[in-house]
């Protein structure tokens, strides 16, 4: 079943609902978190909460009461949001396997305690727990397209905060040019990390200018709840103008540096996966076309759009960089 995306001119839920009702709904969700049984929830009920097989893990997440957050209507997608269960059962998370059905295996991921290291070219290196970080930022919902390099796509209602807010917290030195972002490296809770031929941990990077762009988003939740483990809880990136492999999951380290990071997929197969990886239908992957994409949850294909449709936000970042492999 597809959820209808609210059109830009329609009101967001927090605006359309009297504030008291909106707040009551939050309290109800908090009540659900505590396991209370509520009769007669009427229009406040959120059936999806109980429906997805991983809902219990989300209710156990200490950040559960922070959700849902109000939607930021600046980021509009004129396509249906991908159904939550379809999205949560078709994932790329090599730490849990190189196939798509990793959601059960990903429940092994332990997301508390979760310490995040900020290091490298910053005023002062520090470590911060995910709940302390959440207390310092303000959460919003953004509906983003996601285009995987494998030519499938989906639309997700992510919740999180701009990556720029994290950069500001980190206070990078002016000499820093890039942010390297790393996934945890704990083979005991991620069987895929025992596959020694991969260069763990999964590593990705952006330039500081990309990270400061409005679109770059740190994701902590989705579908009005804490992020499901298979999507990369408790903290992942969404860089929707780039192929999906840039959107690194379950991050526990940010390193500010003046050297362009060598990313996981560059290390594995640099001829096919580069640092920039901006979406472009006219630049084929060496082994397949990038002209169209299969929309998750449908049998249809649609044309792929340059920068995945986000050119107005990001195209200017690449002015004068024609010599770079921008689209691979």
Distance (Å, whole) CA 63 – CA 221: 9
Closer residue to ligand MTE in complex, CB, 25/231:
231
**Is 231 near ligand MTE (CB under 6 A)?**
yes
Is 94 a binding residue for ligand MTE by CB under 6 A? The answer is yes
Told to check if 93 binds ligand MTE by CB under 6 A, we report yes
Maximum separation of any 2 CA atoms in the chain, in Å: 62
Identified binder of ligand MTE from the candidate list 58, 63, 91, 105, rule CB under 6 A: 91
Per DSSP, 172 falls in state: B
Distance CA 14, CA 213 (A): 26
> Which one of 30-38, 78-86, 247-255, 271-279 is the stretch in contact with ligand MTE (CB under 6 A)?
247-255
Q: How far is the CB of 169 from ligand MTE (least distance, A)?
A: 22
Q: Which residue, 145 or 249, is less far from ligand MTE as judged by CB? A: 249
Upper half-sphere CA count for residue 164 (Cβ side, 13 Å): 8
Residue 54 binds ligand MTE (CB under 6 A): no
Burial 86-120 (b: 16+ CB within 10 A, else e): ebbbbbbbbbbbeeeebbebbbebebeebebebbb
Question: Rounded CA gap, 211 and 238, in Å?
Answer: 11
Q: Is 193 in the site for ligand MTE (CB under 6 A)?
A: no
Q: Which of 193, 245, 217, 176 is CA-nearest to residue 310?
A: 217
Radius of gyration of the chain (CA): 19
Of 54, 67, 178, 245, the one binding ligand MTE by CB under 6 A: 245
Q: Which residue has the tokens 């609210």?
A: 6
> Least distance in Å: CB of 142 to ligand MTE?
15
- Supply the minimum distance, in Å, between the C-beta of residue 257 and ligand MTE: 19
Say how far apart CA 199 and CA 192 lie, in whole Å: 11
- Report the residue count for the chain: 328
308 binds ligand MTE (CB under 6 A): no
Smallest separation, CB 210 to ligand MTE (Å): 16
Convert residues 129-148 into a mask of x (bound to ligand MTE by CB under 6 A) and - (unbound): -------------------x
Contact between 266 and ligand MTE (CB under 6 A)? no
**Minimal distance, residue 109 CB to ligand MTE, in Å:** 10
The pairing of beta strand 217-222 with beta strand 225-226: antiparallel
95 scored as a contact of ligand MTE (CB under 6 A): yes
Interface ranges with ligand MTE (CB under 6 A): 91-95, 148, 183, 202, 231-232, 244-245, 247-250
């Amino acid at each position: 079943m597809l959820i209808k995306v609210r059109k830009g001119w329609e009101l967001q839920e927090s605006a359309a609902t009297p504030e008291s009702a909106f707040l009551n709904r939050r309290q109800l969700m908090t009540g659900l978190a505590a396991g209370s049984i509520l009769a007669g929830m009427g229009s406040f009920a959120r059936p999806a909460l109980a429906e997805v097989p991983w809902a219990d893990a989300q209710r156990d997440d200490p950040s559960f009461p922070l959700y849902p957050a109000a939607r930021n209507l600046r980021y509009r997608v004129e396509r249906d949001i991908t159904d939550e269960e379809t999205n949560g059962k078709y994932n790329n998370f090599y730490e849990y396997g190189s196939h798509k059905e990793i959601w059960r295996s990903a429940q092994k991921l332990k997301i508390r305690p979760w310490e995040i290291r900020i290091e490298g070219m910053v005023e002062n290196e520090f470590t911060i727990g995910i709940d302390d970080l959440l207390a310092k930022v303000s959460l919003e919902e953004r509906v983003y397209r996601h285009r995987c390099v494998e030519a499938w796509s989906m639309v997700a209602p992510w919740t999180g905060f701009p990556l720029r807010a994290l950069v500001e917290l980190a206070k990078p030195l002016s000499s820093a040019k890039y942010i390297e972002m790393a996934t945890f490296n704990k083979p005991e809770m991620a069987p895929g990390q025992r596959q020694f031929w991969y260069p763990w941990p999964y590593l990705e990077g952006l330039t500081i200018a990309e990270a400061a762009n409005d679109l770059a988003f740190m994701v902590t939740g989705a579908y009005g709840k804490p992020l499901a483990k298979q999507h990369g809880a408790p903290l992942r990136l969404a860089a929707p103008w780039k192929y999906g492999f840039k959107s690194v999951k379950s991050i526990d380290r940010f390193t500010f540096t003046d050297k362009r990071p060598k990313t996981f997929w560059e290390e594995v197969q640099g001829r096919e996966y580069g640092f920039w990886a901006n979406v472009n239908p006219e630049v084929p992957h060496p082994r397949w076309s990038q002209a169209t994409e299969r929309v998750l949850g449908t049998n249809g294909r649609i044309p792929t759009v340059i920068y995945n449709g986000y050119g107005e936000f990001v195209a200017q970042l690449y002015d004068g960089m024609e010599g770079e492999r921008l689209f691979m």
